[in-house]
Every structure is written in structure tokens, then in C-alpha cells.
């Protein structure tokens, strides 16, 4: 029987208790590097290094559900937030490399944190084995529905008139949203005041309540507030407009040509997985993200389905470590 399971909230099909996961732990293979012709023979744990209900979690559940139902597999969603996503990624990197523990990493914990953190407990390029990219999503700059700012030009004009008077929120120092806003400030020649939060929920509440003036986060994280009319989107960070917010201009077309800052999501496992497991996982996840219904549901959340080879994902991690590392250093952001 196919089952899609979760430790982070209500499942679409079956809720698995933590005891079930513990019971299977004793079945780990003693020689994970060997080929496993019967893989998978028990549930696969997919770690989401952020809380349930956020953009990363929604993408993980949508794609994992499709992988599970299409292949008659059992997949456990394990929300393991903390330290900017580092706790969850580190748990995956240090897991037994038998193919039964994976992680849905993203730009922040795979490409930004290696420069941001003085002591990162894992090396994304050495300790993880990329499986495939899953999706990408632009960020969106929003203000409260009753804000006097209607366009990005309004925000920039206000910031130039009173430097550092406008507060902007992000879901944490060194996140893609934080650094994308730093990049915007540098590009536009203005200065905002950064108010970092530990996740998206409190920042959203304070924006709506008027404690802060702007908020930058991924479209999947804020799309619900936008559609309900609680937030007004004024610009997206992708090179082209997003299909879910077609009336919202890009920062590039708002006067800052060439500006682009997106977040991506991809599945990886610990380095040293069996030789036949990565191709099997790659095929399963690629098939899932190519499914029209999955693509439609991701698009409704402001995300674009991707896919591709493990090599493509590895190259993106390598290149973005360099790209975002430069932005981290120029911004002065650092976490000990």
C-alpha cells in the first residue's frame, strides 16, 4: 500500500507516529555503499529544515506525495528547523548514507550559509550528494495593504528622503530575502533598517500590524497573504514576472536592469549513497516535478518546477556559493 507520511503535521494520507520511524532505524543497511536492488524496502525520510507550513515545507509535501503515490513508496516528512536550516541539513549530511535519509535544501543553507557562518557543521559540496533540483521561486517585496507605498519607486524615494527610516523584515539574517534586500539597497543607493525574524510568521504579523514597513520573502511564503488582500506586492526579484502575480513588476523592469535574486529548492542525501540509489531517486523526483498537476500546484504557490541531473544541481550549488558569498561579504553579515 502506498503511503505518504509526515512528522510535521497532518498527512494527506497516513499519519506516522515517531515510534514508527524509530522502529525502522534498526533496519539500516550495514554496507550502504553497496547497490540495493530492492530499494526502497522501507520508508524514506525527507528532512525539511524549516517549520511546517512555510514555503519549503509546502513544496516538499507536494512533490513527496507525488513521488510516493507514483512509485508505491512511503515517504516521511520530518520538519527539523533551526539555525537557518543548518540543523536539518546537518542531520542529513551525518545520516547513514543508505538512501533512506534525504533533505530538501535550498539556497540559504546550501549556498549562502557556507560564507555566512564562521563554523558551518557541514560542507555542502563534500558532505552531501545532490539528487535533483525541485523548484525555484522568486522573492516578493510586500507592504501592508494600507501602506502609502504603491510602487518600488515610492519606497526608494522615501528611503532617499530619510535614510534608514524604513524598516524591512526578513525571516533571518543571511537568508536569501535579507541578502536580496541588501543587494537592492546597494543597487538603488539607499539604506533601509533590517529587522530579522526567526521565520516568516511573526514578520508577516508585524507588517500587517504596522510595526514594520516592508517585507521580503519567497512568493510561496507570502502568496496567501497577498491573495487575501492583507499585503500589497510591489515588486518581484525574478528576471521575468511570475505567472501567479502577473500584474506585479520585476525589480529589473522597475528601473534596475539586470537585477535578479531567486531561491531554489533541491533534494540531496549524505555523501556516499549506493551507486544505484541516486539515479533511482533522480528519476522518481524528476518524474514527479514534470507531472502537470504538480507543476500547476507549485505554480499556484509562486514556484516553478525544475528537475534535472545531479550534476546540474551540484554545479548550481558551487556557482551560487561563489555568487552569494560575495554578497554576504559586501553586506557584512556574519553568524558565529
Q: Answer yes or no: are the C-beta atoms of 140 and 226 closer than 8 Å.
A: yes
Q: What pairing do the DSSP bridges indicate for beta strands 128-144 and 304-305?
A: antiparallel
Name residue, grid cell 531554489: 264
What CATH number labels 3-24+43-136+262-331? Answer: 3.40.190.150
CATH of span 138-254: 3.40.190.10
Q: What are the sequence ranges of the domains in the chain?
A: 3-24+43-136+262-331, 138-254
pLDDT at 278: 97
Grid coordinates given for 302: 509562486
Record the cell numbers describing residue 170, joined without a space.
526578513
Q: Which residues share a beta bridge with 168? A: 194, 214
Predicted pLDDT of residue 172 = 78
Res 36: pLDDT: 60
C-alpha cell recorded at residue 89: 541539513
Q: Cα separation of 61 and 111, whole Å?
A: 23
pLDDT of residue 196: 87
Outline where the chain has alpha helix (H).
18-25, 55-71, 86-93, 107, 113-116, 152-161, 176-188, 201-209, 219-227, 277-290, 292-300, 310-331
CATH topology of 3-24+43-136+262-331 equal to that of 138-254?
A: yes
Q: By three-state DSSP, how is residue 75 classified?
A: strand
Q: For position 253, what pLDDT does the model report? A: 95
pLDDT tens by residue, the chain, 336 residues: 444 554 444 443 333 333 343 343 443 333 445 556 689 999 999 999 988 887 789 899 999 999 999 999 999 999 999 888 899 999 999 999 999 999 999 999 999 999 999 899 999 999 999 999 999 989 999 999 999 999 999 999 999 999 999 999 987 777 888 899 999 999 999 999 999 887 677 888 999 999 999 999 888 888 889 999 999 999 999 999 988 899 999 999 999 999 999 999 999 999 999 999 999 999 999 999 999 999 999 988 888 999 999 999 999 999 999 999 998 988 887 776
The CA–CA distances, whole Å, from 215 to 61, 111, 203, 208 equal 25, 22, 7, 10
User: For 272, left (φ over 0), alpha (ψ -120 to 50), or beta?
Assistant: left
The end-to-end CA distance of the chain, in Å, is 46
Scanning the structure block, which residue is given the C-alpha cell 536492488?
Answer: 37
Is the bond into 40 cis (omega within 30 degrees of 0)?
yes
pLDDT at 37: 64
Pairing of strands 74-79, 167-170: unpaired
CA pair distance 135, 156, nearest whole angstrom: 31
* pTM value surpassing 0.85: no
pLDDT score at 2: 45
Q: Residue 316: name the closest of 329, 302, 306 by CA.
A: 306
Amino acid at each position: 500500500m502506498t503511503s505518504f507520511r509526515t512528522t510535521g503535521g497532518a498527512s494527506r494520507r497516513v499519519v506516522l507516529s515517531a515510534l514508527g520511524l524509530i522502529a525502522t532505524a534498526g533496519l539500516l543497511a550495514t554496507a550502504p555503499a553497496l547497490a540495493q536492488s530492492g530499494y526502497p524496502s522501507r520508508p524514506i525520510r525527507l528532512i525539511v529544515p524549516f517549520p511546517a507550513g512555510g514555503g519549503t515545507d509546502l513544496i516538499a509535501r507536494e512533490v513527496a506525495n507525488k513521488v510516493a503515490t507514483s512509485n508505491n513508496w512511503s515517504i516521511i516528512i520530518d520538519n527539523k528547523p533551526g539555525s537557518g536550516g543548518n540543523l536539518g541539513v546537518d542531520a542529513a549530511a551525518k545520516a547513514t548514507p543508505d538512501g533512506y535519509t534525504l533533505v530538501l535544501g535550498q539556497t540559504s543553507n546550501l549556498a549562502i550559509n557556507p560564507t555566512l557562518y564562521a563554523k558551518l557543521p557541514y560542507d555542502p559540496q563534500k558532505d552531501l550528494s545532490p539528487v535533483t533540483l525541485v523548484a525555484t521561486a522568486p522573492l516578493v517585496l510586500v507592504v501592508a495593504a494600507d501602506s502609502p507605498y504603491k510602487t518600488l519607486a515610492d519606497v526608494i524615494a522615501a528611503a532617499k528622503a530619510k535614510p534608514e527610516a524604513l524598516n524591512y523584515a526578513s525571516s533571518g539574517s543571511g537568508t536569501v530575502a535579507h541578502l536580496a534586500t541588501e543587494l537592492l539597497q546597494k543597487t538603488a543607493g539607499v539604506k533601509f533598517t533590517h529587522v530579522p525574524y526567526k521565520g516568516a510568521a511573526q514578520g508577516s504579523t508585524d507588517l500587517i500590524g504596522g510595526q514594520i514597513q516592508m517585507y521580503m520573502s519567497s512568493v510561496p511564503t507570502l502568496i496567501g497573504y497577498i491573495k487575501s488582500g492583507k499585503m500589497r506586492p510591489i515588486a518581484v526579484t525574478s528576471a521575468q514576472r511570475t505567472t501567479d502575480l502577473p500584474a506585479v513588476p520585476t525589480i529589473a523592469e522597475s528601473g534596475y536592469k539586470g537585477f535578479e535574486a531567486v531561491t531554489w529548492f533541491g533534494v540531496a542525501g549524505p555523501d556516499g549513497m549506493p551507486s544505484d540509489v541516486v539515479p533511482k531517486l533522480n528519476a522518481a523526483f524528476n518524474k514527479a516535478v514534470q507531472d502537470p498537476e504538480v507543476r500547476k500546484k507549485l505554480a499556484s504557490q509562486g514556484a516553478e518546477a525544475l528537475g534535472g541531473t545531479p550534476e546540474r544541481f551540484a554545479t548550481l550549488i558551487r556557482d551560487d556559493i561563489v555568487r552569494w558569498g560575495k554578497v554576504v561579504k559586501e553586506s557584512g553579515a556574519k553568524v558565529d
